[in-house]
Amino acid sequence: MPETITSLIEKLEGAVAPDLNSGCWLWTGSAYEQKGRLRGYVTIDGKSELASRAAFRAFSGVDPGSGYVCHKCDVSLCINPNHLYLGDHASNMADMVQRKRSFGATQPERCREAGRKGGLANTWHRGEGNPKAKLTAEDADLIRADPRKTAALAELYGVNRTTIQRIRRGDLWPVLRAQSEARV
């Protein structure tokens, strides 16, 4: 027989330890560690569910569905319904950044190092934004205007001939803003 809301609330309330300082209801039932944070679980009708999701559903009467049950208190074991709210991935990530729980905020040196490494391997930025760029936008405009053969220009600029071809076709290096504004 499916568990009723009343029995679920009794089950949840029976496995909490109130924190008088913060007002959190700390889950004392089953828990496991995920990404450095303890996550509480409760078994309902033979299935495991996050204790915070079960508490949100039981106390608010709203089924979170595919939504995220987020914590105002940043305590992953808290199931106090006044500390829980329904959000989505974007709002959860924005909350994480605002509360300075993101990788960049909690481990700035590791983040800077990852950025340096990623910047050196970055091939998705076009133009001068790519740290591997050998040409400037000005060089690209000169290449477009130069009537010499592709191979000669490739040797002159120290790039592959397909780079010259792609610049001439317009696949690489957009036209300088000053020139495009002058055309308007």
CA pair distance 59, 16, nearest whole angstrom: 14
Domain of residue 14, CATH code: 3.90.75
pLDDT bucket at 120, cuts 50 / 70 / 90: low
Q: Is residue 184 part of a domain?
A: no
Q: How many domains does the chain have?
A: 2
Buried b (16+ CB within 10 A) or exposed e, 76-111: bbbbbbebbbbbeeeeeeebbeeeeeeeeeeeeeee
Based on the fold, state whether residues 148 and 83 are members of the same structural domain. Answer: no
Band of residue 146 on the pLDDT scale cut at 50, 70, 90:
very high
Give residue 118's pLDDT: 67
Does 78 share its domain with 135?
no
- Residues 98, 127, single domain; the answer is no
Put residue 61 in one of left, alpha, beta given phi > 0 → left and psi -120 to 50 → alpha. left
Of the residues 106, 138, 165, which one is the last residue of a structural domain?
106
- Domain range enclosing 58: 5-106
49-79 pLDDT per residue, tens? 999 999 999 999 999 999 999 999 989 999 9
40 and 92 inside one domain: yes
Give yes or no: residues 100 and 163 share one domain.
no
SS3 content of the chain, % helix, strand, coil (to 5): 45, 15, 35
163 and 90 both lie in a single domain: no
User: What tokens appear for 165 in the block?
Assistant: 């071809």
How far CA 117 is from CA of 26, 38, 57, 112, 153, in Å, comes to 40, 31, 44, 9, 31
Q: What is the pLDDT of residue 7?
A: 84
Give the residue with greater pLDDT, 159 vs 103.
159
The answer to whether residues 153 and 65 belong to one domain is no
pLDDT score at 148? 95
- Asked if residue 112 is part of any domain, the answer here is no
Are 39 and 102 part of one and the same domain?
yes
Separation between Cα atoms, residue 38 and residue 126, nearest integer Å: 42
In this structure, are 53 and 144 located in the same domain? no
Is 111 domain-assigned?
no
